[in-house]
Structure 1
Amino acid sequence: NETLRNHRESSLHRGPDDFVFCKKDGAALDPDVLRKDALYPILDRLGIPRRKGASGFHTFRHSAASIVNEQTGNLKLAQKFLGHSTIKMTADIYTHTSAEAERDAAIALERAIYGDLFPVVPNIENRNNFTALN
């Protein structure tokens, strides 16, 4: 990103081990300050409730793993992006499924088992008119 590159180039701290966003002396910013001054006001403005242990910047790592895995189907790639030494850590802790992905999986399973015989999962358009088969 050009904006990020410009920020980095204008910084006095441009070394490979330096923080991109840091204090004037190059030290790391206090994550509590970033959370309180940046992240929390954004969450509040968007109406997203804060949850203990789930409303910090670390949540973005979980989101990144889940998005990469869902969009590419490549858990190994998500592992690489997060820098995990084992795929187990990525799979067991960092990747999560979405309600939409779970519904798509249920529909795929239904089609594989029943084909066009009858719908087990109703179409969204017909959901209010759905009557279970007995």
Structure 2
Amino acid sequence: MRRGEILGLRWKDIDLKKGTISIRQILVTTAEGLRFQEPKTEKSRRSVAISPAVIEALKKHRQRQLEEALILGKPEAAKGLVFTSQAGTPINPRNLARHFESVIKKEGLPPIPFHALRHTHATLMLQGGVHPKVVSERLGHSGIGTTMDIYSHVMPDMQKEAAEKFEQELLVKTLGEKKERT
């Protein structure tokens, strides 16, 4: 997800039973301050499947959020957004970036921008053999061409793998047919 999609995510947009997140609003910074709006394109308004580990992490986060809201005496603060400040207000995107930078530094990792997480996700999926159309849909790109343009550097190794898989399938089919004839 993009940063604005994460910061605009509401609990009502998550179905923990089905394991899906629906991107229905984003948080943007304007001259007047922070505000919510619909994603710009139809492709950006999407649902993505989440793994069991993400579902569990979200359940734990939800429980912590509810407990903190009760301790602060602001139970209404935990009703809407998934990610909020301690006061229950939307997180300023710059504050998220600063916090991410501090975590990266604390862990001794090289400096990376927050958006690199999205690129890493896409790259790992493509390298893992996920069909580019599925990756494109998960990212909310306008079309598969956008995904392929951005991630073409991942494709050379995949081309070699595809050739090897084709050869293997051809051998299996050829040898299988020869065995059937004898």
TM over 0.5: yes
Task: Give, in angstroms, the shift of residue 77 of structure 1.
Answer: 0.6
Give the ranges of 4+ consecutive aligned residues of structure 1 lying more than 3 Å apart after TM superposition.
none
Residue 92 to residue 14, structure 1, CA distance change in 2 (3 Å): farther
Partner of 2:114: 57
> Residues 8 and 20 of structure 1 are in contact (CA less than 8 Å); yes or no, is this contact kept in structure 2?
no
State TM-score, norm by structure 2: 0.43
Matches within 5 A, 1:62-101: 62-94=119-151, 96-97=153-154
Q: What is the aligned length?
A: 99
1:35 pairs with 2:94? no
- The structure that is strand-richer by fraction is 2
Cα distance in structure 1, aligned partners of 2:113 and 2:62: 24
Cα distance in structure 1, aligned partners of 2:152 and 2:117: 11
Within the candidate set 26, 31, 50, 2:89 is matched to 26
Partner of 2:29: none
Residue 41 to residue 95, structure 1, CA distance change in 2 (3 Å): farther
Cα distance in structure 2, aligned partners of 1:36 and 1:7: 21
Partner of 2:60: 6
Cα distance in structure 1, aligned partners of 2:151 and 2:157: 17
State TM-score, norm by structure 1: 0.55
Partner of 2:36: none
Residue 65 to residue 103, structure 1, CA distance change in 2 (3 Å): closer
Q: Pairwise CA RMSD of aligned residues? A: 3.3
Cα distance in structure 1, aligned partners of 2:151 and 2:159: 21
Task: Give, in angstroms, the shift of residue 103 of structure 1.
Answer: 9.0
> Residues 65 and 78 of structure 1 are in contact (CA less than 8 Å); yes or no, is this contact kept in structure 2?
yes
